[in-house]
Chains A and B, each alone.
Chain A
Amino acid sequence: MSKIEEVKAKVEAGKSKLVPGLVQEALDEGSAPGEILQAMVDSMGVVGEKFSSGEIFVPEMLIAAKAMSKGVEVLKPLMAGDGSASLGTCIIGTVAGDLHDIGKNLVSMMIESAGFDMVDLGVDVPADTFVQAVKDNKNVKLVACSGLLTTTMPALKEAVATVKAAYPDMKVIVGGAPVTPEYAAEVGADGYAPDAGSAAVKAKELATA
């Protein structure tokens, strides 16, 4: 097995203590940082698919993402300023009135693993704050709004409308337990995903369209 293949396998298995060393070995063997990063992104794609299909659960996804981030730490100094490695910036947050962050954190982690730079606004985020974050950050390609409660669905609608009013071409995805594809379409979102694995796929699809 090549070192890159080993990196892939160990990211997928969530071996965060082993991945940094393997990434270094792959570099020492002459692999390009971008190539190694892509291998890890691919691994996380597999992890996301397995999560979406119910083959693996949240802990497996978390340790895989942690393993990848440990690998990325080794690559970062070598890739500084290399914008080509990023799919752009994604602003993410749980909408106003809603304090649930676990689902949002999982989605954030998976979108990051797909190659985005994340700006996490946290929970209970007013609609205007999403707009301000688009303004304040470079190369924003996507805004992701989360809401877990039926009672905060109007805030989800407001967040999408406010972002779209300020930035009509900005891609916006929504998700959370009560959200359906129909609701996403009704509030004017560009995309919807039922879980963190599919959210990463959808984010990539929208940002590269």
Chain B
Amino acid sequence: MLTKRQNLMEVMKGGNPDRFVKQYEAFALMMKTPISRLKPPVGGTIVNEWGVTLSWPEGQLGSFPVHDEEHIVIKDITKWRDYVKAPKLDYPDEAWATAIADANAVDRNDKYVTVFVAPGLFEHVHYLMSMEEALMAYYEEPEAMHELIDYLVDFELRLAEEFVKHLHPDAVFHHDDWGSQINSFVSPAMFKEFFEPAYKKIYGYYKENGVELIVHHSDSYAANLVPSMIEMGIDIWQGVMNTNNIPELIKQYGDKITFMGGIHSGLVDFPTWTPEIVAEYVEKTCQENGKLYFIPSQTSGLPIDSFPGVYETINKEIDKMSKKMF
């Protein structure tokens, strides 16, 4: 039997996996580092390291940046330098002790030591200035937007340097939602101009420093951005929704990028979920997308569920499909 890591490699290279990869099983996520971003607790509000006010109201599935006039960070994009100050990343070695112990505890033959970065550049920009203002500014103030993105890239490169120095990760799991369920937020041309070179630098740095796998999360439609994803160096697109034609994407790009998702979290992870509903969607996605260049997974971006039991039930159903199809 292949290890989880070996099995994943076989899926990615179109080789001979001996079972489906079960969602996030091959990734040991390093979440307790001193440079992991702050998140509000459920029911709470915080101001994060960048000055963004984030709120997680009770009963919601995630946190939101607060974008009223008072809380918006960048009040004028042409003066973004007056508002944006990157947080410090130089922590003493002892602050890294827990993360280093976590990394050391991982059998790297079995799993990838995986560092986690969220939000990514696109989201970070709209966290700082609101979605509407950000999207208009790509047209109206493109130079300032390029400068702001360059500044965020510099920060991400320093972040990557710290991760590499302390944890020697095998993989990076990087979040950045690039679309709605039905389309990308920006055109492929705009994406190529603003984000492709930026991510190429970040992901290139990880690759040059021993990181084997780049896993990017965008639970959205983004089929039109796949050529850019490949150019950036993404190995696995996690979060691929069924609104993308996944079988067609696998056929067209499978030898260059692997697709992880196909099980829409909104359809399986809700208050009145049942194991039967989960089973139906897992079977459908495994049958439709096959054994190579595809990892069946919930689309949400962490190995957790909103309603207890869903994540593990998906795993059990994937096991059943492995028995059936391998």
Contacts and interface: CB of A to CB of B under 8 A. Distances in A.
B61 A149 contact: yes
Query: Interface of chain A, helix or strand or loop or mixed?
Result: loop
Nearest to B181: A177
Given A149-B266, A151-B61, A151-B270, A63 B139 contact: yes
A62 interface: yes
B190 interface: yes
B135 A59 contact: yes
Nearest to B241: A177
A206 interface: no
Nearest to B59: A97
B119 to A, nearest CB: 15
B139 A194 contact: no
Interface residues of A, number: 24
B34 interface: no
Given A59-B135, A105-B132, A194 B182 contact: yes
Contact of A59 (B59, B61, B186, B271): B186
Interface size class of B (residues with CB under 8 A): 20 to 34
Given A62-B135, A150-B266, A177-B266, A57 B271 contact: no
A178 interface: yes
A56 B136 contact: no
Contacts of B190: 57, 59
Interface in B135-152: 135-136, 138-140
Interface string B48-65: 000000000101110010
Interface string B250-272: 00000000000000001100110
Nearest to B307: A151
B242 interface: no
Contacts of A149: 61, 266
A58 B135 contact: yes
19 contacts: A57-B184, A57-B190, A58-B135, A59-B135, A59-B136, A59-B185, A59-B190, A60-B187, A62-B132, A62-B136, A63-B139, A66-B136, A99-B57, A102-B132, A149-B61, A151-B306, A177-B180, A194-B182, A195-B182
The 5 lowest CB-CB distance pairs between A and B, nearest first, are: A59-B135, A150-B266, A150-B270, A57-B187, A177-B181
Interface of A: 14, 16, 54, 56-60, 62-63, 66, 97, 99, 102-103, 105, 124, 149-151, 177-178, 194-195
